[in-house]
C-alpha cells in the first residue's frame, strides 16, 4: 500500500490497530458476535483471531486511518456478497 495519503497527498505513518477482542467491520451498526467469524456479514481482522494487531496507516493531517487487508490469506463470504450465481 502506498504511504501517500489519498486525500491530501501527505505522508502516512505506519502503525497498528490493536484490540484484545479483535477488529470487526460490518455495513451496519450492531452488536458484535461473541465468537468471531460466525456472522457472515462481519469481517474480522486479522482473520478472526482474538488479541491480534492489524497494520494500519495514519494521516495525522486528515485524521484518517487506512487498513489494507489484501494480504490476509482467507476467503470470507463478505467478499462474494455481490457475486452472481
Q: pLDDT per residue over 1-51, tens digit each?
A: 679 999 999 999 999 888 777 777 778 887 766 666 666 677 777 665 555
Sign of torsion over alpha carbons 62, 14, 17, 40: positive
> How many CB atoms lie under 10 A from the CB of residue 17?
14
pLDDT for 42 equals 73
> C-alpha dihedral over 51, 76, 64, 5, to 10 degrees?
120
Task: Give residue 21's Cα distance to chain centre.
Answer: 14
What is the arithmetic mean of pLDDT over 53-57? 86
Residue 23: φ, ψ to 5°: -115, 130
Q: Are the CB atoms for 56 and 67 separated by under 8 Å?
A: yes
Residue 58 clears pLDDT 80, i.e. is over it: yes
pLDDT for 36 equals 61
pLDDT for 20 equals 75
pLDDT for 81 equals 60
> How many CB atoms lie under 10 A from the CB of residue 5?
19
pLDDT band at 63 (very low <50, low <70, confident <90, very high): very high
Amino acid at each position: 500500500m502506498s504511504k501517500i495519503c489519498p486525500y491530501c497527498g501527505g505522508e502516512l505513518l505506519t502503525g497498528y490497530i490493536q484490540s484484545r477482542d479483535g477488529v470487526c467491520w460490518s455495513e451496519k451498526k450492531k452488536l458484535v458476535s461473541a465468537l468471531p467469524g460466525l456472522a457472515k456479514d462481519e469481517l474480522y481482522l486479522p482473520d478472526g483471531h482474538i488479541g491480534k494487531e492489524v497494520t494500519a496507516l495514519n494521516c495525522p493531517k486528515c485524521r484518517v486511518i487506512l487498513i489494507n487487508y489484501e494480504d490476509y490469506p482467507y476467503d470470507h463470504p463478505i467478499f462474494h456478497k455481490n457475486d452472481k450465481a
